[in-house]
Amino acid sequence: MRALIQKVSRAAVSVDGQEISRIGAGFLVLLAVKIGDTELQAKKMADKIAKLRIIDDGTGKLNLSLLDTKQAILLVSQFTLYGDSDRGNRPSFIDSARPEQAKPLFELVAAELRASGLELQTGSFGAYMQIDLTNDGPTTLMLEI
């Protein structure tokens, strides 16, 4: 399981020109599920996202988490994070899990984050989406579990 985490001052997702989700300060998380990923990995990913200390503590140090600051998460499915272009210019996505495996694990990550008490919004799984965001920092990290 792979997540690209961007610290944002705001982010929104639209489908077919209609905004479906919006957050203020927090994390935009693009989440990809790989073939063979498990529920345990999904739970570990949610825990890592909630506790990741990449928010400024007021002294210039990235020392606070979403749990500390009660900021929000916008979680968006993103199978292309497992794109592999080693053999040419057209990426292969054969490592990405099929929707029937990926969607339940995506939803488990979302449920775990909600259970931690954080405000959570999501994109629309499998839809063609437009994401509008303002990076904060910018601070961007790739996590793999």
Going residue by residue through the chain, which has 145 residues, state the pLDDT in tens, using 9 for 90 and above.
999 999 999 999 999 999 999 999 999 999 999 999 999 999 999 999 999 999 999 998 999 999 999 999 999 999 999 999 988 899 999 999 999 999 999 999 999 999 999 999 999 999 999 999 999 989 999 999 9
pLDDT, position 103: 97
Which one of the listed residues 38, 80, 130, 134 is annotated catalytic?
80
pLDDT, position 88: 86
| Token pair 């988490």: residue | 65
Residue 36, C-beta contacts closer than 8 angstroms, at least 6 positions apart: 97
How close are the terminal C-alpha atoms of the chain, in Å?
5
Nearest to 5 by CA among 143, 144, 145: 143
Catalytic-residue membership of 93: no
Which one of the listed residues 6, 41, 78, 122 is annotated catalytic?
78
Domains of the chain plus CATH, in order, are 2-144 (3.50.80.10)
Measured CA to CA, the distance from residue 100 to residue 114 in angstroms comes to 22
Which one of the listed residues 79, 106, 121, 122 is annotated catalytic?
79
Measured CA to CA, the distance from residue 73 to residue 110 in angstroms comes to 9
> Taking the model in full, what pTM does it have?
0.94
| Token pair 């910018």: residue | 138
Question: What sign has the CA pseudo-torsion 136, 64, 51, 145?
Answer: positive
Catalytic-residue membership of 106: no
